[in-house]
Chain A
Amino acid sequence: MIWIVFAAMTAAVIGALLWPAVTSRPAETRAERAAYDRAVFRDQLAELERDVARGVIGQAEADAARNEISRRLIAAAGEVRAKTAPGFASAAIAATLIVPAVALPLYLMAGNPLLPDVPHAWRMENAENNGDMPALIQKVEQHLEKEPDDLQGWQILAPLYRRDQRWDDAAEAYRNILRLQPPDAANISDYAEARVMANQGMVAAPAQALFRQALKLDPTFPKARFYDALALKQQGKADEARAAFEAFLKDTPADAPWRPMLLAEMQDMSAKPPALDQQTMADASQMSGADQQAMIRGMVDGLEQKLAANPDNLEGWLRLIRARAVLGEAGKAKAAYDRAKGQFASNPDALSQIDGLAKEMNVE
């Protein structure tokens, strides 16, 4: 279909290029070259006369100019006629083939003839009919921007974000669900899980607190039990973690979908000293978990040393507190928090920032 359009365009172009050949008669001649010059000179003379009539230039100046232009006018008359070749050379006609010869290969190389236009509005209108997931998501997003309290909207969106591994967005969606629903083990755990995934699989202290909260509401809720145990493992509390995993395994039916994952974690524990979970390793880098853990701890220790040398650095302190809390080193986090408070005792702005962070990270 589109090739017909292209063919028509090409034909129209060639036709237009050939038009001079069709319309120009062999007998047609052009005005000789010098005639163009003479036209200009005559016009200059006329202009000169107008200036003289207006009194813009003096008589002597005008005479000199008139002399000069007239001289050039006469000189132009003496020129030879340009030669004229009759007709439209066949070479020129053949040259029209340049156009398709250049265009076709270029288009075949660069073009996408079969791709249709996709107007944004059309895509949004037909999102349901086409099962167009990204468009559907955007529709719900736009709706929620206007009505952020629509629980159903967030409930549609959250699993879709999850599926696309947009973890930050998913966490935000689950947070909204939790805001609009009475808390239960399921919605708290979903929110906490999204935060863990957004944190590259690390169960940070606030996420762990959430799972604990879920377990308070339903001590048997599988997802919360799993991540709570995982948190212990990541914190290096191997014995506690193993005990938690084993207790969980006992309550897990043989056909439970999470059973293989659980077994993998337990096997990982017995094979190696406690390390990061598989997810993090896959996500973060090719470094081994132990290396990565060591690297992170090394970085944080370095930061602490720097702050000891140069303590007037609020950003640095905030980062240190956050890092310690994320690593689950509650005692060190608390120590950093206390020292930061001492450092910025006279700065209410900084204090409120430090306290805000401590509250967010559950550093008491």
Chain B
Amino acid sequence: MTRKQKRLSLILGGLAVLGLAAGLVLYALSGAITFFHTPSDLADTHVQVGQRIRLGGMVEQGSVTKGPGTVTSFAVTDTLKTVTVSYDGILPDLFREGQGVVTEGKMQPDGSFVADTVLAKHDENYMPRELAESLKAKGVTLGKIADEGTPQ
């Protein structure tokens, strides 16, 4: 093989690997991603039952109930709509009423949400970025949420 041929084969081999990888990435991106929604998004977008999504919002004041066993249920709200979430497991340390939370799981036929993952930020004044933006887009000011226990 001449130098040119060698280089060509090298480049072709590289491109082949790159192509395979690109295919893999595209395939994974079509299947293995989760969409983020706020409770009021859910009403608009009609997420299918059983589809894996992330649901973000604030934990509504006074909505956390414990039991039975290790199950906790609480309401996630973006001040416009509220979704009841149940989660079997241990909540993160910073999970609190009135604080931001992101849950990952599936919608149930009855309109409730079963989460298998609950994330709360390592920051006392955390508001999920996606939520802050969604709310701003809907014209909700954040001060409203910060007020303690404002029943709507």
Q: Do chains A and B touch in the complex (CB under 8 A)?
A: yes
* A residues whose Cβ falls under 8 Å from a Cβ of B: 299, 302-303, 306, 312-316, 319
Which residues from 124 to 146 on chain B have a C-beta closer than 8 Å to any C-beta of chain A? none
Instruction: Confirm or deny: B61 has a beta carbon within 8 angstroms of a beta carbon on chain A.
Output: yes
Instruction: Confirm or deny: B151 has a beta carbon within 8 angstroms of a beta carbon on chain A.
Output: yes
Given contacts A299-B151, A303-B151, A316-B62, 10 further A-B contacts (CB under 8 A): A302-B152, A306-B151, A313-B62, A313-B65, A314-B65, A315-B62, A315-B64, A315-B97, A319-B62, A319-B149
- In the complex, A303 Cα to B97 Cα: how many Å? 16
Instruction: Confirm or deny: B150 has a beta carbon within 8 angstroms of a beta carbon on chain A.
Output: yes
Residues of B within 8 A of A312 (CB): 65
* A302 with B151: CB separation less than 8 A: yes
- In the complex, A316 Cα to B60 Cα: how many Å? 11
- In the complex, A302 Cα to B62 Cα: how many Å? 14
Residues of A within 8 A of B62 (CB): 313, 315-316, 319
- Choice from B64, B65, B97, B150 contacting A299 with Cβ under 8 Å: B150
Residues of B within 8 A of A302 (CB): 151-152
Count B interface residues, CB 8 Å.
10
Instruction: Confirm or deny: B34 has a beta carbon within 8 angstroms of a beta carbon on chain A.
Output: no
Residues of B within 8 A of A315 (CB): 61-64, 97
Residues of A within 8 A of B151 (CB): 299, 302-303, 306
**Subset of 19 A-B contacts with CB under 8 Å:** A299-B150, A299-B151, A302-B151, A302-B152, A303-B151, A306-B151, A312-B65, A313-B62, A313-B63, A313-B65, A314-B65, A315-B61, A315-B62, A315-B63, A315-B64, A315-B97, A316-B62, A319-B62, A319-B149
B40-79 near A? 1/0 per residue, CB < 8 Å = 0000000000000000000001111100000000000000
Residues of A within 8 A of B97 (CB): 315
For residue A236, give the distance in angstroms from its CB to the closest CB of chain B: 23
Residues of B within 8 A of A316 (CB): 62
* B residues whose Cβ falls under 8 Å from a Cβ of A: 61-65, 97, 149-152
- In the complex, A299 Cα to B152 Cα: how many Å? 8
- In the complex, A314 Cα to B65 Cα: how many Å? 8
For residue B89, give the distance in angstroms from its CB to the closest CB of chain A: 21
For residue B100, give the distance in angstroms from its CB to the closest CB of chain A: 19
- In the complex, A314 Cα to B62 Cα: how many Å? 8
Residues of B within 8 A of A319 (CB): 62, 149
- In the complex, A293 Cα to B61 Cα: how many Å? 22
For residue B124, give the distance in angstroms from its CB to the closest CB of chain A: 18
For residue A279, give the distance in angstroms from its CB to the closest CB of chain B: 20
For residue B143, give the distance in angstroms from its CB to the closest CB of chain A: 12
- In the complex, A316 Cα to B149 Cα: how many Å? 10
Candidate in B65, B149, B151 with the most chain A CB atoms within 10 angstroms: B151
Nearest residue, chain B, Cβ from A301: B151
| Closest A-B pairs by Cβ, 6 of them | A315-B62, A302-B151, A303-B151, A316-B62, A299-B151, A306-B151
- In the complex, A314 Cα to B61 Cα: how many Å? 11
For residue A305, give the distance in angstroms from its CB to the closest CB of chain B: 9
Nearest residue, chain B, Cβ from A312: B65
- In the complex, A233 Cα to B64 Cα: how many Å? 37
- In the complex, A319 Cα to B63 Cα: how many Å? 12
For residue B50, give the distance in angstroms from its CB to the closest CB of chain A: 27
Residues of A within 8 A of B150 (CB): 299
- In the complex, A314 Cα to B63 Cα: how many Å? 9
- In the complex, A315 Cα to B64 Cα: how many Å? 8
- In the complex, A120 Cα to B128 Cα: how many Å? 36
Nearest residue, chain B, Cβ from A306: B151
